[in-house]
Amino acid sequence: MNTSEREQALEKLPLTDVFVHEGLVRGTLGTLKDIWARRELLDLLIRREIKAKYKDSVLGLVWSLVRPIVMLVIYYMVMGRVLGADRGIDHFAVYIYCGLAVWSLFQESVAGGTASIVANSGIIKKTRLPREILPLTSIGVALFNFFIQLVILVVFVLATSGINTSVNFLHFPLAIAIVLVWGTAFALLLSAANVYLRDVQYLTEVALMIGFYASPIIYPWSLAAGHMNAIVQDIYLANPITLAIMGTQFVWWKTEKVDYPWPEHLDHRMLIALAVGFVVLFIASRVFARLQRDFAQEI
């Protein structure tokens, strides 16, 4: 192609604005379109994170199995057997593992996402791409790790208690959807805030630590419910991650006790959590879109 050919080709294209100030709906559609257009990059960045993490280790990906398994054993032994949290709970290992897997999906999404923009300052400062891709990369990596843990869970369940056929399996995908929607919302919001205030990263770590114990992961809900009146129970159950964990336990953990106190209307509560999650995600993505305009100078 020479100059005049390129001139002719470019003449047909319109001059387009580099920075578009769109309304909420059109802006959101624009963002989604941009991300979709760069999905290959998202895929490559997720692979980069996963590959780079275990690049020089002999066991490689096996390490991402070791951590959850060790945690499982520790919690099972210490909390269950030594401290006696498993009183009256059969298959306590499955119970704990369900909670741990779902929690770590959320925790990795949020913690990784929060740090993602600052950690990739080179890309932010020097290239043009939809910046949402970076927090989304953290979600992708967390999801990958979650699938590995899920494989362990399924194998373990099949080997011990067997699949519970009497429950509605849809609780599980619903639970994962809740975690992803809320995790993405937090990741977007906190990663943008972290550019302006680095303390956000550390605050997030602390908040996540509290969140871990505020969810029925290493203790049974039946035990916690006994200490709460109706209002506190409702507050406890308003936590979308708690609902997602319960939904997962509901599907995979086959308890022999018929009277385990599953919260009333678990499915409805989960659907509401998902719906609210989408609203929060929408707000978070708009806040991100606004804050990201100055990333290149603030980072």
Partner 1 sequence: MAVEVVKAEHLNKTFTIRKQKSLKDRFVSAKGGRLHDESFTALNDIDLTINVGESVGLVGPNGSGKSTLLKVIGGILAPDSGRVMTRGRIAALLELGAGFHPDLTGRENIFLNASVLGLTRLEAEGYFDQIVEFSGIRDFIDTQVKFYSSGMYVRLAFAVAVHVDPDVLLVDEVLAVGDEPFQAKCIDKIRQFQAEGRTIIFVSHSAGQVADICDRAVVLEHGKIVEDSTPIVALGRLRRDYQQSIDASKATDTTTVSPWEARIERIYLSSPTSYHHSDFQVVMTPGSDLCFHLEVSFTEKVPDWALKVSVENFLGTTFVEADTRETLGWTMPATEGLVKFVITLPKLMLGEGDYSIRLTVRDDQDRVLDQMNHAGTFAVRGPQHVLGPVYTEPEISFQDPA
Contacts with partner 1, 255-294, as mask; x by CB under 8 A? --------------------------------------xx
Structure tokens at 112: 């990784």
144 touches 50 (CB < 8 A) = yes
Say whether residue 84 binds partner 1 (CB under 8 A). no
CA angle 60/142/107 to nearest 5° reads 120
- Return the number of the residue (26 or 265) whose C-beta is nearest partner 1: 26
Tokens 């302006």 found at: 196
What is the C-alpha separation between 130 and 27, in angstroms, rounded? 12
Q: Which stretch binds partner 1 (CB under 8 A): 119-127, 182-190, 245-253, 267-275?
A: 119-127
Q: Which stretch binds partner 1 (CB under 8 A): 12-20, 84-92, 209-217, 240-248?
A: 12-20
Tokens 């290149």 found at: 296
Q: Which stretch binds partner 1 (CB under 8 A): 37-45, 87-95, 152-160, 263-271?
A: 37-45
Say whether residue 15 binds partner 1 (CB under 8 A). yes
Classify the phi-psi angles of 152: left when phi > 0, otherwise alpha if psi is within -120 to 50, otherwise beta. alpha
Say whether residue 55 binds partner 1 (CB under 8 A). yes
At 171, the amino acid letter reads H
- Return the number of the residue (63 or 169) whose C-beta is nearest partner 1: 63
Longest dimension (CA), the chain: 82
For the segment 188-217, give every residue that binds partner 1 (CB under 8 A). 197-199
Q: Which residue, 46, 44, 23, 38, is CA-closest to 130?
A: 38
Q: Which stretch binds partner 1 (CB under 8 A): 90-98, 120-128, 251-259, 265-273?
A: 120-128
Angle between helix 92-119 and helix 171-196 axes, rounded to 10 deg: 30
Give the binding site for partner 1 (CB under 8 A): 1-7, 9-11, 13-19, 38, 40-41, 44-45, 48, 51-52, 55-56, 122-123, 125-129, 197-199, 293-294, 296-297
